């Protein structure tokens, strides 16, 4: 049974930074790919970043490239998303996700098999 628990969300002014964390069960960290997906009210889910658990290769959506960094600490079973230069359009619920088989790329993260409960990020305009 895969468990993913996110934390680190909050409200921050535009231009600020937040770091999200996702602690996963051992099962999640045996899988091929983990990532972050976000959903704003009234909008579709958007995959923002993905990382190969074994090799550490990372991928980003164009909307966050250069501002967000995905990383992992396998010893702690923890996935991170460092978010810098935050914009009002980054406001959303952020979820971490894991999948053993799907292509490891941001556009596939919304369909990943396992997903946590989410953590809210708010950047007031």
Interval 58-112: pLDDT, tens: 999 999 999 999 999 988 889 999 999 999 999 999 999 999 888 999 999 999 9
Model confidence pLDDT, tens digit, residues 68-82: 999 999 888 899 999
Element (H, E) at 62: none
d(CA 78, CA 98): 12
d(CA 68, CA 63): 9
Element (H, E) at 21: strand 18-24
């Amino acid at each position: 049974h895969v468990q993913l628990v996110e934390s680190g969300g909050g409200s921050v002014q535009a231009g600020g930074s937040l770091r999200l964390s996702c602690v996963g069960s051992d099962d999640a960290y045996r899988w091929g790919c983990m990532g972050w997906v976000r959903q704003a009210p009234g909008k579709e889910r958007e995959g923002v970043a993905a990382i190969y658990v074994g090799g550490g290769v990372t991928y980003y959506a164009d909307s966050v490239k250069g501002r967000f960094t995905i990383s992992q600490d396998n010893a702690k079973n923890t996935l991170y998303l460092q978010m810098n230069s935050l914009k009002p359009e980054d406001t959303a619920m952020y979820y971490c996700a894991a999948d053993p088989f799907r292509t490891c790329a941001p556009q596939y993260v919304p369909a990943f098999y396992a997903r946590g409960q989410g953590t809210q990020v708010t950047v007031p305009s």
